Amino acid sequence: MRCHRAGTRTDRAAGRVAILVVAGALLSAAATFAKVFLTQAEALHLAFPPGAAVDRRTAYLTETQQKEAQRLARSENPPEALVPYYVGSVDGRPVGTVYFDTHVVRTQPETILVLVDPGGRVRRVEVLSFLEPEDYLPLPRWYGQFAGHGLDDELSLKRGIPPVAGATLTTIATTDAVRRVLAVHRVLSQAAP
């Protein structure tokens, strides 16, 4: 009579294979949620008029600037100290500044472009990538509501920006991101000579 011992090398190998198969299936399922809508270059092309010169710049916020941006954005966390941004100009005259913001919606990131006009108001918001299930992604017209908003009390959910049923966390995260971008833009504008 042959006895079967639990935990033999063959059993452990089969268990590892089963774990790898399940992990692969989960990763594959997660990848089906991921959606990239625009590359950074495509988004910059949409943001600025044809023929605009686009200058990539990098700012390094001091701790004081980070705290001021955090206060202006009404955020729990300060923005990153390293801030890359893009200034578009036509005939040497600035026409807008683009910031890219990546933030977590529920458990996965969303990356958006925020175009700020020379007056410090939102001109455009575009979604570059959204890794949550698309059911949590508002329609493009919802993102269009940000146009014309400045960093004021109207730039908040249930005031100037209505929430979307079924995409509540996305609307919260996106509105916070737009406020953060405008706060950073204001801090950088105040620091400019």
Q: d(Cα 41, Cα 90) in Å, to the nearest integer?
A: 18
pLDDT at 26 over 60: no
Average pLDDT over residues 85-102: 97
Average pLDDT over residues 71-88: 95
Query: CB neighbours of 46 closer than 8 A, spacing ≥ 6?
Result: 38, 124, 126
**Alpha helix stretches (DSSP H) within 97-167:** 140-144
Both tokens of residue 67?
């705290």
Residue 22, class by beta-carbon neighbours within 10 Å (0-12 exposed, 13-18 middle, 19+ buried)? Answer: exposed
Residues 141-174 pLDDT 10s = 999 999 999 999 999 998 899 989 889 999 999 9
pLDDT score at 34 = 65
Please name the amino acid found at residue 87. V
Average pLDDT over residues 20-42: 61
pTM reported for the whole predicted model: 0.81
Q: d(Cα 185, Cα 187) in Å, to the nearest integer?
A: 5
pLDDT at 130 over 50: yes
Both tokens of residue 33?
């949620």
pLDDT score at 33 = 55
- Nearest Cα to Cα of residue 176 among 124, 110, 128, 130: 110
**Residue 153: other Cβ atoms inside 10 A:** 8
Residue 3, class by beta-carbon neighbours within 10 Å (0-12 exposed, 13-18 middle, 19+ buried)? Answer: exposed
Average pLDDT over residues 54-81: 96
pLDDT at 107 over 80: yes
pLDDT score at 119 = 96
Residue 20 phi, psi dihedral angles, 5° rounding? -65, -40
